[in-house]
Chains A and B, each alone.
Chain A
Amino acid sequence: MIQRLLTIVGEYFIFLRKVFSRPEKWSVFFKKLLFEMDAMGIGSMLIVSIVSIAMGSVITMQTAMQIESSWIPTWTVGFVSRTSIVMELCPTIISLLLVGNLGSRITAEIGSMRVTEQIDALEVMGINPASYMVLPKVIASLIVNPVLIIFSICFALIGGYVTIVLIGNITPYDFMDGLTYCFRVYDVVYAVTKTFVFAFVMSTVASFYGYRIDGGALELGKASTQGIVVSSFIILVLNVLITQIML
């Protein structure tokens, strides 16, 4: 069991070394990078915005109801909601959402290329398939995921604001006060850093599970699930570590 785990970890790092080697041709690389960024970014925008608005709304509602007390200042609601949205909810939950959305797509795409020998075909031509196929996906997600998270934060805050306007147990004015109270750029840097790390885990683990498929199409579904489970697990563990280190 432990031996198998170590073998897989070893394979993963060997795979990473293959991925991060110089692309055969930069023009081809950039073309693929743009394509991936487009597919990933535009493709996830809708689901990310819906989930973010809902999440921001719920967390604001909860906070507003929990600290309804005369001796707690009313701006606290905005402040607490903002902090949870910026620092935990958006980077972590949305990253997990993207694992299910983008990660499984990556595994399926690379896995089906493996099963139908397209990866072998690349290799015979003398092209490093790991670098050619995977590197643009990894770089694209390193760029796209943080941008998506920034959007997601904005949507969540808007969702919270609209909720306050609708339920109205504190004034929108007080809520805004709380949102902007003691705002630190470091919080956003922290959120983006986390997303960046999570994006790396998601894209590399998903590609790895697709790349190492050995066998037929049946393996594809299994690899996809494994990729999601493993990268979610790593993300949750890293989340604890990063929170320890950065705060």
Chain B
Amino acid sequence: MIELNHVSKYFGEKQVLFDINTVFEEGKVNLIIGRSGSGKTVMMKCLVGLYTPEEGQVLYQGRDFHHMDDASQRKLRAEMGMVFQGSALFDSMNIEQNVMFPLDMFTEMSMEEKLERVNFCLQRVDLPNVNKLFPAELSGGMKKRAAIARAMACGPKFLFCDEPNSGLDPKTSLLIDELITEITHEYNMTTVINTHDLNSVITIGETISFIYQGRLEWRGSSDSVLTSDNAALNDFIYAQPLTQRIRKHI
């Protein structure tokens, strides 16, 4: 479980996050939704420690991440996996080496064991036969899946995905959503996903935090997201003709 307590983040004079309080639960897919520029990526980077919030705390199972000693922080980080908005695969390594990288760094496995694990992860994300290819040789969706494979290689307890299905076709993005949900439940991970994809919101969001202009505007589940009476949230959800049409039937 990850808790945010009164988290505020500034860039110089500019405040980007305003006093955020929310909880991301274990064994569930937790979504952060909001419009472009609302602060989702900044919030996720505060969660994983790439940014340090000026005010407030990020608690991992009750322990303040930004104020623990280096050793505990490193240990906690070994339990995190993150998929970046742009995949962030290491382009000097092939896919096999990319996925093997966390295993190389954090485990004492033998080469066979590592290979077995790598192939298992690649199989899991439905990417067989790409082991020797380099990231530049993959399509956007394949890169995303390879990044997910790398993030899950060490069996993380916390998985963070920044817009895992932006720029993908509906079918592939559904596959990725399903994949993330499956592994979350299978390994009882705490998964946090940034998204503005409404399909994901409705199908995989077990808890949903809606960020509006840097503030937590609404919190709930996928069941209540379509029927809430929050004006800003409705504005976000029913922005497109398709969803407006759906609304008439609810």
- Which residues of A does B touch, CB under 8 Å? 24-25, 28, 109, 112-113, 116-118, 120-121, 123-127
Question: Are B104 and A124 in touch, CB under 8 angstroms?
Answer: no
Question: Are B88 and A25 in touch, CB under 8 angstroms?
Answer: no
Question: Are A118 and B78 in touch, CB under 8 angstroms?
Answer: no
Question: Are B78 and A125 in touch, CB under 8 angstroms?
Answer: yes
CA gap between A117 and B87 in the complex, in Å: 8
Cβ of B45 to closest chain A Cβ, rounded Å: 8
CA gap between A113 and B135 in the complex, in Å: 13
- Knowing A24-B105, A25-B104, A25-B105 are in contact, say whether A126-B84 is a contact too (CB < 8 A): no
CA gap between A126 and B80 in the complex, in Å: 9
Question: Are B49 and A116 in touch, CB under 8 angstroms?
Answer: no
Question: Are A120 and B50 in touch, CB under 8 angstroms?
Answer: yes
- Knowing A124-B49, A125-B77, A126-B74 are in contact, say whether A117-B105 is a contact too (CB < 8 A): no
Within 8 A of A (CB), among B41-86: 45, 48-50, 73-78, 80, 82, 84-86
- Knowing A121-B82, A124-B48 are in contact, say whether A28-B91 is a contact too (CB < 8 A): no
Asked if B102 is at the interface (CB within 8 A of a chain A CB), the reply is yes
Question: Are B73 and A117 in touch, CB under 8 angstroms?
Answer: no
Interface residues as binary, B201-231 with A (CB distance below 8 Å gives 1, 0 otherwise): 0000000000000000000000000000000
Question: Are B88 and A120 in touch, CB under 8 angstroms?
Answer: yes
A-B contact count (CB 8 A): 51
6 A-B pairs with CB atoms under 8 Å apart are A25-B105, A117-B86, A118-B91, A120-B45, A125-B102, A126-B76
CA gap between A58 and B92 in the complex, in Å: 41
In the assembled complex, which residues on chain A have CB atoms less than 8 Å from the CB atom of B88? 116-118, 120-121
Question: Are B86 and A124 in touch, CB under 8 angstroms?
Answer: no
Cβ of B138 to closest chain A Cβ, rounded Å: 14
Choice from B77, B85, B89, B91 contacting A126 with Cβ under 8 Å: B77
Cβ of B209 to closest chain A Cβ, rounded Å: 20
Question: Are A127 and B105 in touch, CB under 8 angstroms?
Answer: yes
Question: Are B50 and A116 in touch, CB under 8 angstroms?
Answer: no
- Knowing A118-B88, A126-B77 are in contact, say whether A28-B82 is a contact too (CB < 8 A): no
Asked if B10 is at the interface (CB within 8 A of a chain A CB), the reply is no
CA gap between A121 and B151 in the complex, in Å: 10
Interface residues as binary, B28-51 with A (CB distance below 8 Å gives 1, 0 otherwise): 000000000000000001001110
Please, which residue of chain A has its CB at the minimum distance from the CB of B160? A124
CA gap between A236 and B82 in the complex, in Å: 44
CA gap between A120 and B47 in the complex, in Å: 13
CA gap between A124 and B79 in the complex, in Å: 10
CA gap between A217 and B39 in the complex, in Å: 22
Cβ of B81 to closest chain A Cβ, rounded Å: 8
For the complex of A and B, 7 pairs with smallest distance between CB atoms: A126-B77, A117-B88, A121-B88, A126-B74, A124-B82, A117-B84, A124-B48
In the assembled complex, which residues on chain B have CB atoms less than 8 Å from the CB atom of A126? 73-78, 80, 106
- Knowing A24-B105, A28-B105, A126-B73 are in contact, say whether A121-B84 is a contact too (CB < 8 A): yes
Of residues B45, B84, B85, which shows the largest number of chain A Cβ atoms within 10 Å of its Cβ? B84
CA gap between A120 and B82 in the complex, in Å: 10
Please, which residue of chain B has its CB at the minimum distance from the CB of A127? B105
Question: Are A120 and B77 in touch, CB under 8 angstroms?
Answer: no
In the assembled complex, which residues on chain A have CB atoms less than 8 Å from the CB atom of B73? 126
Cβ of A33 to closest chain B Cβ, rounded Å: 15
- Knowing A117-B88, A118-B88, A118-B90 are in contact, say whether A124-B105 is a contact too (CB < 8 A): no
Cβ of B123 to closest chain A Cβ, rounded Å: 22
In the assembled complex, which residues on chain A have CB atoms less than 8 Å from the CB atom of B77? 124-126
In the assembled complex, which residues on chain A have CB atoms less than 8 Å from the CB atom of B106? 125-126
Cβ of A136 to closest chain B Cβ, rounded Å: 12
